[in-house]
Chains A and B, each alone.
Chain A
């Protein structure tokens, strides 16, 4: 059962324009959301995160928006650069229990291509 969904497998954007990657989730217990970026033959690297008590978090060119009522979050990249071409994974986390800490539930990823 996929609790985190990224419905767009791929996205192509011109350099300098805005890239918008979307993510939906079903589990209302999720309280923290993250975006990871993955280049081929490398492991995912953490990009940006947002707590459920916020609706926006910004870090340089990257902004994540959270709409809790719609169970939807999005990652905006402005301006997009060719080096941003990668697979972007949305992940959501909920506290399992006091002993185990947090587990990440990943979406299937969106492959972003930024063309010059």
Chain B
């Protein structure tokens, strides 16, 4: 079974630029999560999708971050414009059903904002 795929793996941008990350969850997984992991911290949930609907985006900085999962499969997370404090690893995870504690993570995208 293929795991959660993410691209790109690394991205370096200047502040005020825009960036987008892509995630393809495990086939058949209805729930998709985006996490931000700042160096030295644990992952922090940004947004959770159930199929193509948002079920929790309470910690998403909506003035600059946006995410979508149009067809209920792939998802894109965008930052526009980026700030220095956005430097982090962005992790995508998926789970089979909504009420599942066990989430499967992708390798992450390491973003550096200079």
Chain A residues within CB distance 8 Å of chain B: 4, 6, 32, 34, 36, 41-46, 49, 89, 91, 93, 95-96, 99-104, 106-109
Interface range, B side: 20 to 34
Enumerate 14 A-B pairs (CB-CB under 8 Å) in ascending A order.
Answer: A32-B101, A43-B91, A43-B93, A45-B105, A91-B42, A96-B56, A99-B50, A100-B98, A101-B31, A101-B55, A101-B100, A102-B99, A104-B43, A104-B101
A interface: dominant SS: strand
CA separation between A34 and B105, bound complex, in Å? 14
Q: How far is the CA of A91 from the CA of B35 in the complex (A)?
A: 13
Number of A-B residue pairs with CB-CB distance less than 8 Å in the complex they form: 66
Give Cα A101 to B100, complex, Å.
7
Where chain B touches its partner, the secondary structure class is loop
Q: In the bound complex, how far is the Cα of B44 from the Cα of A107, in angstroms?
A: 9
Shortest B84–chain A CB gap in Å is: 21
5 more A-B contacts (CB under 8 A) besides A41-B107, A101-B50, A103-B45? A34-B102, A43-B107, A100-B50, A100-B56, A104-B43
